[in-house]
Amino acid sequence: MTSLISQLNIGNPVKAQQVMYPQGAVPGSSSSEANISMSKITELMNLPTSNMLAQYVRHSQMVKNVDMTKPLERFEWQNDLRTMIQDNKAVIWAIVPRTFNAKDKDRNDLIEAGEQKGTFLNAIERLDELVALGVNTIHVLPIHPPGKINAMGLSGSVYAPKDMLKLDPELRDPRCPYSVEDQFKIFIDACHKKDIRVMLDLPSCASCDLFHASPEYMAFERNGNAKTPQGWNDIRMFEPWADETKRTLNPHLLDLHKKFIDMCIDLKVDGIRADVARAKPSEFWDIIIPYSRSKDPNFAWLAETYTYEDASPQLNMMYDRPKDSLKAGFDTYYGQYHIFHEWSKAQDLINYVKENLEMSNEKDMPAKKSLIGSFATHDDVTPMFHGGVDYCNLTTGLQATLPMLNPYFVDGFQSGDKYLYKYENLKTQSMNPHDTTKCDVHRGKLDIFNHSRKPGGANPEVGEFMKSAMKFRKEYQDIISKGSFIPLETDENGADQIIAFARHLNGKTLLVIANRDVNKRQKGMVEVPGLKKDSELKNLVGKYGQNSYFQVKEDGKVAVDLGKARFHVFEIDTPDIEKSGLEVLKQKL
């Protein structure tokens, strides 16, 4: 699709009332032919996304003189992201703004001179697409200017910030007079208008540039060398301690993070995803998280921390400790669903769900803590590598029905992007040359190192199933968010590939039956206490892949013949299933 901005016909100036523009707007010529009222921006927010962006840019481009003393008028919004996460109602979509709506005209996957990079303004064009998928929260990966020293890729890693208190000027559309900060505010307001919350990524490390500029933030080895996470030569670790033996925190790093919070509050960001949360001790978060909630009580926090200590071991990086993170104030954490494809049996999934539900009920664990559906994040290879479209749909179905979970997806998932870039490891010239001209990529993962194409693949049916699954989830939100989790027994399936559980609340039951095997069909029996032989099993989500067959037996058993990686969910009439003697688990709410 051609950019809306590039389609604009900037003709005769449109006269409007005098306006005061915010500090940081691009200066123009010495005379002004037209002015645009600040209230016009609010008016345009009521238009469909495409019309809103087109008319906004048409007006704003005409401004020559600007009075930069009056703040940008903002859309009125009440943050509720923390409540959404606590209620298991958030559906999160991860994006890299510089690629989110990039225009790759020559289809070489790399955005070069003459092609349009992703910006905050052209990102608005895709919001209706996310709404249609059922998304209500955007996780914006880091948007700071990347460092140049030892930079990875042509553009530098988004996780190697040169300055955590500034926004990357590359994300600003130069045809609009507003500063990059105000253009991000316009994007946030457009999200809020669409009932989409915005969560900003907080990098865990610094670029080499920031290391040299501000050593007071940084960690050093005993020999005086910089502490570097294993495998990452472009970043350096922060030092959270002033004196670890006395448990005294680094006041400079605390101050930096408080300023980051202040920036987020000013932008009207709704929450933060803390990259490698374990890189800082609980005492650090015990200060930073309450500080954010003194500014906004509903400010949400997502911890990138896993369940097992050996989940992602790295030199110079502390072990994962999700319990400590949740107790320190994080609302939700990554968990371990990203290794679902490594679990060989259905029982492995059931055991992991039980483990988290049991953790939530520990005496000292605060209520309403949850996980994200981390079956694939930007750190993981595309789920297309684990079983193609069928595997993607299986994990989407699980995200729609598992307890204590907020679904999470990465841009490109909706059409099966395999994140294979034509320029992989190519040496070329960058648009803004850094110290390297090598197109670093992590094969099969969303590119965070280069100005690359808009994410997307060749399988839109993945997005169609997601629409179906998220629509179902919303219709049955109470059972999904608050209902009990009842693992069901399976027989006659020696390979243990049949996933079966029930969700129950106030007499209503959902029955979930799925085949975790992506390679072949699976047959067996599922015991469903109280299910009558004449019960009709009607699948409530979209169909895909091979057909599956079900037959309810006289004794409350269901004979199943499941297509590979098929997911099914049914509403059944078993009001007393919690009294059947099966194990019943509930999240602490």
Tell me how far apart the alpha carbons of residues 110 and 13 are, in angstroms, rounded to a whole number. 36
DSSP string over 170-197: GGS-TTS-S-HHHHHHHHHHHHHHTT-E
| 503 and 512 Cβ atoms separated by less than 8 Å | yes
CATH topology classification for 81-208+251-475: TIM Barrel (3.20.20)
Running DSSP on this structure, what letter comes out for residue 25?
Answer: P
pLDDT on residue 26 = 37
DSSP string over 256-280: HHHHHHHHHHHHT--EEEETTGGGS
**How far apart, in Å, are the Cα atoms of 434 and each of 6, 141, 437, 462?**
28, 21, 7, 37
pLDDT on residue 33 = 29
Nearest to 548 by CA among 477, 499, 494: 499
Return per-residue pLDDT of the chain as tens, 589 residues: 334 344 333 233 333 333 333 333 333 333 332 333 444 444 555 555 555 555 555 444 433 344 456 778 899 999 999 999 999 999 999 999 999 999 999 999 999 999 999 999 999 999 999 999 999 999 999 999 999 999 999 999 999 999 999 999 999 999 999 999 999 999 999 999 999 999 999 999 999 999 999 999 999 999 999 999 888 899 999 999 999 999 999 999 999 999 999 999 999 999 999 999 989 999 999 999 999 999 999 999 999 998 764 444 445 445 567 899 999 999 999 999 999 999 999 999 999 999 999 999 999 999 999 999 999 999 999 999 999 999 999 999 999 999 999 999 999 999 999 999 999 878 765 445 444 568 899 999 999 999 999 999 999 999 999 999 999 999 999 999 999 999 999 999 999 999 999 999 999 999 999 999 999 999 999 999 999 999 999 999 999 999 999 999 888 999 999 999 999 999 999 999 999 999 999 999 9
DSSP string over 429-494: --SS--S--B----TTS---SS-BPPP--S-THHHHHHHHHHHHHHHTHHHHHH-EEEE--EES-T
pLDDT on residue 409 = 98
Residue 329 tokens read as 């104030």
**How far apart, in Å, are the Cα atoms of 333 and each of 42, 54, 272, 291?**
35, 38, 12, 20
Residue 48 burial (C-beta neighbours within 10 Å; 0-12, 13-18, 19+): exposed
Q: Which residues of the chain does CATH 2.60.40.1180 include?
A: 484-579
Residue 140 tokens read as 């914006």
The CATH class that applies to domain 484-579 reads mainly beta
Residue 448 tokens read as 């965070």
pLDDT on residue 225 = 93
Q: Which residues of the chain does CATH 3.20.20.80 include?
A: 81-208+251-475
Beta bridge partners of 202: 274
Residue 332 tokens read as 């939700």
Record the pTM: 0.89
